[in-house]
Amino acid sequence: MGRHGEIRLGAAADRRLLALSLTLLVAFMAVEVVFGILAGSLALLADAAHMLTDAAALALALLAASMAARPAEGRWTFGFVRAEILAAQANGLALVLLAVWIVYEAARRLAEPANVQGAVVLVVALVGILVNGIVLALLARARRETLNIRGAYLHVVSDLAAFAGTALAGLLILLTGWDRFDPVASLAVAVLMLAGGWSLLKESGRIFLEGAPASAPPREVGDALAGHPRVVEAHDLHVWTVTSGFPALSAHVLVQPGADCHRIRLELEGMLRERFGIDHSTLQVEHVGAESGLEIRRSGASN
């Protein structure tokens, strides 16, 4: 079987693992909401909200894996790869809004603590640790070099840590009878959610605004292009991200008279691929015209 066939089989296996993981998370999330209400536990409800974002992350990864199989056509010259960025913005916004609500409720319960059934909180949290452990084991079998799957994996890892905190809160309530351990644990979950939401909003916003990826700073890329042998100048340089893990570049490159434009273009493409991880590049390579008055010089990139 060829490399492309192996990739297709790997992608299909990833989708099955994501679908099974998503089913487990959604089923347990529903159970947790019910017991969170019955036990009067904000920490359990906060964990359920966090699991909702995990489910969204898994659904996003599943959607992206399916959309990636669709070819670019018609007006969609890049296909639908940016659908994951739209979903990431929605996911990030939901995380932040839910975290704000949890902080508000935690502050209210710290001032006026509610009666929390510590035993129920502890048991449900322990089951949550088990469920998240199973999901992590499933995702560990998927190809985590794929950005979406790696992101989903990290979401579940953070949720596992949140369940550990909730279980500790339930145990402390049982031992001490101090109900405020519940909102304290929910505040810890809210911090995790705020951090995750801000990261998603920041990264998706950078992509929508056509910002250069961290792996390819425009100044360094411009210097590398202009510093290549027989290159005179590189300008009209643009580096952006089409979607997560898909950087792109375009530039106008002037080379010395008599230089092999085709060979230099291939060398520059190889350098961009190896040094900056840019596989999609469009380079217009031309000779410096004698009538242009341009001096032979090494210059950085300009937009």
Residues 93 and 186 placed together within one structural domain of the fold = yes
C-alpha Rg value of the chain to the nearest Å: 25
Residues 201 and 254 placed together within one structural domain of the fold = no
3-state secondary structure of 214: coil
Q: What is the mean pLDDT of residues 192-197?
A: 81
Q: Which residues pair with 253 in a beta bridge?
A: 234, 285
Residues 199 and 226 placed together within one structural domain of the fold = no
N- to C-terminal Cα separation, the chain: 45
Q: For residues 87 and 82, what is the distance between their CA atoms, to the nearest angstrom?
A: 9
Q: Number of folded domains in the chain?
A: 2
Residue 299: inside a domain, yes or no? no
Residues 125 and 65 placed together within one structural domain of the fold = yes
Last residue of a domain, one of 155, 186, 208: 208
Residue 50: inside a domain, yes or no? yes
Residues 170 and 250 placed together within one structural domain of the fold = no
pLDDT band at 276 (very low <50, low <70, confident <90, very high): very high
CA triple 27-29-35, angle to 5 deg? 110
Residue 213: inside a domain, yes or no? no
Residue 178 has pLDDT above 90, yes or no: no
Instruction: Please report the DSSP string for 243-278 in residue order.
Output: ETTEEEEEEEEEE-TT--HHHHHHHHHHHHHHHH--
Residues 8 and 38 placed together within one structural domain of the fold = yes
CA neighbours closer than 13 Å in the CB half-sphere of residue 283 = 28
Residue 259: inside a domain, yes or no? yes
CATH of residue 270: 3.30.300.30
Residues 278 and 137 placed together within one structural domain of the fold = no
CA neighbours closer than 13 Å in the CB half-sphere of residue 167 = 14
pLDDT of residue 229: 93
Residues 260 and 286 placed together within one structural domain of the fold = yes
pLDDT band at 116 (very low <50, low <70, confident <90, very high): confident
Length of the chain: 303
Residue 302: inside a domain, yes or no? no
Q: Which residue has the higher pLDDT, 154 or 197?
A: 197
pLDDT band at 290 (very low <50, low <70, confident <90, very high): very low
Last residue of a domain, one of 208, 235, 262: 208
Residues 103 and 243 placed together within one structural domain of the fold = no
Residue 65: inside a domain, yes or no? yes
Residues 233 and 122 placed together within one structural domain of the fold = no
Q: For residues 41 and 183, what is the distance between their CA atoms, to the nearest angstrom?
A: 8
Last residue of a domain, one of 181, 208, 235: 208
Q: Domain range for residue 203?
A: 3-208
